[in-house]
A and B are shown apart, each in its own frame.
Chain A
Amino acid sequence: GAGVSQSPSNKVTEKGKDVELRCDPISGHTALYWYRQRLGQGLEFLIYFQGNSAPDKSGLPSDRFSAERTGESVSTLTIQRTQQEDSAVYLCASSLDALYEQYFGPGTRLTVT
């Protein structure tokens, strides 16, 4: 079946602009995660959705970052007033349920100029 997809694959934006990143999880996966990976670095947890429960937002670095998920489908990560330090690859992953293996999308490479 189809894997996790993310769009756009690349995004170049000017400092101060807002950006919206999209993630389509695998159908039937109740859990969805967003991570940030800076060049040469590990995965930085941002936010976690599990079914209809309140999301775990403990990894969001500032109030410029927000994410939504409608039911068990698409999720969007929004970064307002982008800064150069926001430049990174943003990865989305989904899993059948909490604690199961995660299936990762190809990521969105964000460059803030």
Chain B
Amino acid sequence: AQSVTQPDIHITVSEGASLELRCNYSYGATPYLFWYVQSPGQGLQLLLKYFSGDTLVQGIKGFEAEFKRSQSSFNLRKPSVHWSDAAEYFCAVGHTSGTYKYIFGTGTRLKVLA
């Protein structure tokens, strides 16, 4: 069955440090890939998306993600984390395989140390 895995439940980084959040998917073809952020007390917001083309995509708030077909991964990165980046991050995959499916990962909670 298709699945999305975010192996890190919690990540803690210092402000100014770089960040990488991992996302792996299980699906035969190239899916549509998304990263969402859920800040404390706020709704879910799209950070970036990949449909096709350039495998490195830029998003809002200085985030980027790279699609690696060989590794079935779509990791989220930021070169320098800000305290306001503390939030929960969800990777999502959309695909059609007979029927349409849109699957969210279980999320990674990011804590930023001052």
Contact = CB atoms under 8 A, between A and B. Distances in A.
Contacts of A107: 43
Contacts of A50: 100
Nearest to B109: A40
A104 B46 CA distance: 9
B102 A33 contact: yes
Interface in A37-54: 41-43, 45, 48, 50
A43 B95 CA distance: 18
Given A42-B106, A43-B104, A45-B103, A104 B44 contact: yes
- 7 nearest interchain CB pairs? A42-B106, A104-B44, A99-B94, A43-B104, A42-B107, A101-B46, A98-B100
30 contacts: A33-B102, A41-B107, A42-B90, A42-B104, A43-B90, A43-B107, A45-B102, A48-B102, A56-B99, A93-B44, A98-B94, A98-B100, A98-B102, A99-B32, A99-B95, A99-B96, A99-B100, A99-B102, A100-B32, A100-B94, A101-B46, A101-B49, A102-B34, A102-B36, A102-B46, A102-B92, A102-B102, A103-B46, A104-B45, A107-B43
Interface of A: 33, 35, 41-43, 45, 48, 50, 56, 91, 93, 98-107
